[in-house]
Structure 1
Amino acid sequence: MSGTMRAVVLDGPGPAEALDIRERPIPVPMPGQVLIRVRAFGLNRSELHTRLGLAEGVTFPRVPGIEAVGEVADAPGGEFRTGQKVVTLMGGMGRVFDGGYAGYTCVPAGQVIAFESGLPWSTIGAIPEMLQTAHGSLTVGLDTKPGQSLLIRGGTSSVGMAAAILAKRRGLTVLGSTRDESKRQALAAIGVDHVLIDDGGLAAAVRRFFPDGVDAALELVGTPTLPDTLQATRMHGVVCFTGMLSNQWIVPDFYPIDYIPRGVRLTAYTGGAADLPPAVLQEFLDAVSDGTAVAPIGKVYTLDDIVQAHTDMEENRVSGKLVVTT
């Protein structure tokens, strides 16, 4: 396929205004790659880290974007048929090769997942990375079971809201935190059982509901709140470090015996396309379609609004997932 496309290009770290929309050649896929006509993509903190110069292994100039949804435009190896609806995520997208902030993206076939759905692209675009991270955190990171209690620290983030939705569908009691009183209703609306206003110290509030501490906790804020999250968790409970909304992920002078409460287990989660089973993606899309689940979308933008979208993400103005349609 020849021609040009619109793409967001980042020449180097900088403010939101450094995201520049340009005309670029449509990529040409090689065997083993898939060219996707991008219909929508979600925004992620990973892309904010790239723009701020905090991400490792990034080369510039670069089209950001660690996920995208759309239709197969070409698959020389025959892995997918032209026109098939697919999602792609991770695998170096937006860091070591150009990502989803464009009209087309060219990615390895191994990180492409096919699906069927009549949902709008703006809804589908919210789901891949958010669902993969939430599902992986609850299964690989926390090994949650029905009937358990779960604290989600950073509850109004897209992953936090997705995790709450999945956890309720799995039969857990969910506590979700937010620093903003005005976002309380957003958590209640998706079924969070106990909404906590986070002033930096939640352990005491958590233990008013669960005196021994919660069974599991999902840390999405980062290292500033991790010690308190550990204190909110019962002996033999599990804390999974997944997110870094604070942009802080290093614990200086880490001394485990002093840092981790006795008997509390600390894990971490990160994953990619291989960690999102196609059946899990399809089941969630079907559930959203039939109204038994919701995709927690905060706001939808067009590609021309990319600077505003990044600014909103950086300043935490919106609850839920930010989506851009192309």
Structure 2
Amino acid sequence: MKAYVIQNAGGPDVLQLRDIASPEPGPDEVQIRVRAFGLNRAETYRRAGKMGPISGQVVPGIEAVGEVIRDPAGVFRTGQRVATAMGGLQFSRNGSYAEQVTVLRSNVIDLDGTTLSWEELAALPEAFLTVWGALDKGMSIEQGQTLLVRGATSSVGLAALTYAKACGLNVIATTRSPANRNRLEQLGANHVVIDAGEVADIVREISPAGIDAALEVIGASTLRDSIKTLRPFGAVSVVGLLGGPPVLEPFHLMQDLPAATRLSFFQSGLFGTPAMPLNDTPLPWIAQEIAAGRMPSLRVQTFDFDDVRRAHSLMESNRALGKLVVRL
């Protein structure tokens, strides 16, 4: 099969398209024919050597959609439409930048019955599963609540905005650029706040008693300010590190953490583990909502398989304002 491999850390030029063997599935694995995959920052970090050393041959990619080739256990049938994400992809096993991928069965999601194109489906798994984990599992969001999305123009931030709106929440979205205001409003943001480094006072003007929940995509550099927006018993979940290393130093529990608020860090490495099984994910529902026009698509550009280097360059330019996908 053809796959992109990395043998040295570096820029997009280190992505090399090669012919490699497709691993046969073991008893707890499923082999999938990849039809499309989404692009993620984690893949640029892996390529650049920021997520551990590159030894031997690394196939990047942490998500894909496609059709089952073989499931030794017979849980998934041949030809079944599925999605997969994480489960060691691009670290302990070959990633999804390939014509075929062999993954843990616990990290496979049934998408039979969905009518979306492969390109549209490829924009969903990693971003929306992360949002589901942070908002539903981590913060137990409810209809009518107010959510702050700090870093809303990232792919995860946009997924959080559209998912929260579909679930009946009010959303305050932040962006550093006024030029992005219209994009966020079109996707349903109730309020757009231009982020110059501190937004707590502006959010408190919108919601004087404080908000119910905050999704922190930027990370440690803005976390203290995001926490200040919460009401008592409100919650914040960190899902991104766009603002730098995940280090808070020093952090004063009484001064920096308002009374009775909850702070958590959600990692998508939980996908498919006993702590976060994927048999009840909202992914099929999200696909149906997008197909029906009740949720907007986040896909902004589709690349051919031989154009992955250019896709990486665009992703690193921060000009995408949505999800980039590759169609095989």
Using the size of structure 1 for normalisation, the TM-score is 0.93
CA distance in 2, matches of 1:275, 1:245: 27
CA distance in 1, matches of 2:30, 2:260: 47
Conserved 8 A contact 1:154-1:178: yes
- Match for residue 303 of structure 2? 301
- Match for residue 218 of structure 1? 215
CA distance in 2, matches of 1:222, 1:277: 29
Letter matched to residue 155 of structure 2: S
Distance apart, 1:57 and its partner CA:
7.8
Question: Is 1:206 matched up with 2:208?
Answer: no
Distance apart, 1:56 and its partner CA:
4.4
CA distance in 1, matches of 2:166, 2:147: 13
Question: Is 1:21 matched up with 2:17?
Answer: yes
- Match for residue 155 of structure 1? 152
Question: Is 1:239 matched up with 2:236?
Answer: yes
How does 1:260-271 map onto structure 2 within 5 Å? 260-270=257-267, 271=270
Conserved 8 A contact 2:219-2:241: yes
CA distance in 2, matches of 1:88, 1:59: 24
1:156-188 per-position Cα deviation (integer Å, ceiling 9, x unaligned): 111111111121122211000111222211111
- Match for residue 120 of structure 2? 123
- Match for residue 65 of structure 1? 61
Which blocks of at least 5 consecutive residues in structure 2 are unaligned? Answer: none
Conserved 8 A contact 1:239-1:267: yes
- Match for residue 38 of structure 2? 42
CA distance in 2, matches of 1:14, 1:219: 28
CA distance in 1, matches of 2:59, 2:244: 21
CA distance in 1, matches of 2:63, 2:184: 25
Letter matched to residue 321 of structure 1: K
CA distance in 1, matches of 2:44, 2:211: 31
Conserved 8 A contact 1:43-1:322: yes
Find the partner of 1:170 among 167, 171, 174.
167
Secondary structure at the counterpart of residue 41 of structure 1: strand
161-170 or 148-157, which deviates more: 161-170
Distance apart, 1:232 and its partner CA:
1.9
180-189 or 50-59, which deviates more: 50-59
Letter matched to residue 95 of structure 1: F
Q: Paired residues, what number?
A: 322
CA distance in 2, matches of 1:306, 1:194: 35
Distance apart, 1:239 and its partner CA:
0.9
Conserved 8 A contact 2:221-2:244: no
Letter matched to residue 235 of structure 2: V
- Match for residue 227 of structure 1? 224
Conserved 8 A contact 1:57-1:95: no
Letter matched to residue 295 of structure 1: S
- Percent sequence identity is 39
Conserved 8 A contact 2:303-2:327: yes
CA distance in 2, matches of 1:91, 1:247: 25
Distance apart, 1:51 and its partner CA:
1.8
Conserved 8 A contact 1:49-1:247: no
CA distance in 2, matches of 1:258, 1:231: 10
Conserved 8 A contact 2:228-2:258: yes
253-262 or 149-158, which deviates more: 253-262
Find the partner of 1:7 among 3, 6, 19.
3
- Match for residue 54 of structure 1? 50
68-77 or 243-252, which deviates more: 243-252
Conserved 8 A contact 1:140-1:269: no
1:92-142 per-position Cα deviation (integer Å, ceiling 9, x unaligned): 111111010111101122211111222110000011111111111111222
How does 1:78-157 map onto structure 2 within 5 Å? 78-116=74-112, 117-157=114-154
Superposed CA RMSD in Å reads 1.8
59-68 or 248-257, which deviates more: 248-257
- Match for residue 281 of structure 1? 283
95-104 or 22-31, which deviates more: 22-31
Secondary structure at the counterpart of residue 46 of structure 1: helix
Letter matched to residue 123 of structure 2: A
Secondary structure at the counterpart of residue 20 of structure 2: strand
Cα distance, 1:233–1:56 mapped onto 2, change above 3 Å: farther
Letter matched to residue 300 of structure 1: T
Distance apart, 1:226 and its partner CA:
0.7
CA distance in 1, matches of 2:252, 2:18: 48
Letter matched to residue 103 of structure 2: V
Distance apart, 1:236 and its partner CA:
2.1
Secondary structure at the counterpart of residue 314 of structure 2: helix
CA distance in 1, matches of 2:141, 2:280: 20
Find the partner of 1:76 among 64, 68, 72.
72
